[in-house]
Amino acid sequence: SAVISQKPSRDICQRGTSLTIQCQVDSQVTMMFWYRQQPGQSLTLIATANQGSEATYESGFVIDKFPISRPNLTFSTLTVSNMSPEDSSIYLCSVSQTSSREQYFGPGTRLTVT
C-alpha cells in the first residue's frame, strides 16, 4: 500500500487566480493520477502524471488550465489556473503500481472559488 498526502487540504480562492496542489507519496510509485469530484458528482479523471514527461490529459481537460508536474516517482503537483466558480471541487491524487490495478487515494483538496 501507499500513504498519500495532499496540500493544501482546502482553500478558498478568488476567481482569476491559480492554485497549486501538491501530492506526496511515501514510496516510489509508477503511476499517479489527478481526479476532480464536483459537488454531488462522481470522480472524473483529469490526467495521468508521467514522471519526466508531459502529463496525459483526458478529454475535456487541457494543459493550459491544469498544468501538472511530476519531477520524481513520489511527488506531483496540479495547478488549477485562472480559476472560476465552476472549478470549485474536490481534487484528488491517486497512485498505482503497474503490477496492481488498485489505486490508493489521497485525502483530497477542497477548493472553493469565489
Partner 1 sequence: AQRVTQPEKLLSVFKGAPVELKCNYSYSGSPELFWYVQYSRQRLQLLLRHISRESIKGFTADLNKGETSFHLKKPFAQEEDSAMYYCALIPAGTYKYIFGTGTRLKVLA
The torsion angles phi and psi of 86, rounded to 5 degrees, stand at -70, -15
| CB-CB contact of 43 with 28 (8 Å) | no
* Residue ranges in 87-106 that form contacts with partner 1 under rule CB under 8 A: 92, 96, 98, 101-106
Return the residue of 8, 16, 71, 107 that touches partner 1, per CB under 8 A: 107
Secondary structure class of 56 (helix, strand, coil): strand
Contact call for residue 48 and partner 1 (CB under 8 A): yes
Which amino acid is residue 85, in one-letter code? Answer: P
Contact call for residue 32 and partner 1 (CB under 8 A): no
Nearest in space to 108 (alpha carbons), one of 85, 95, 92: 92
If the CB atoms of residues 13 and 43 are measured against partner 1, the closer one turns out to be 43
> Minimum CB separation from partner 1 for residue 17, in Å?
27
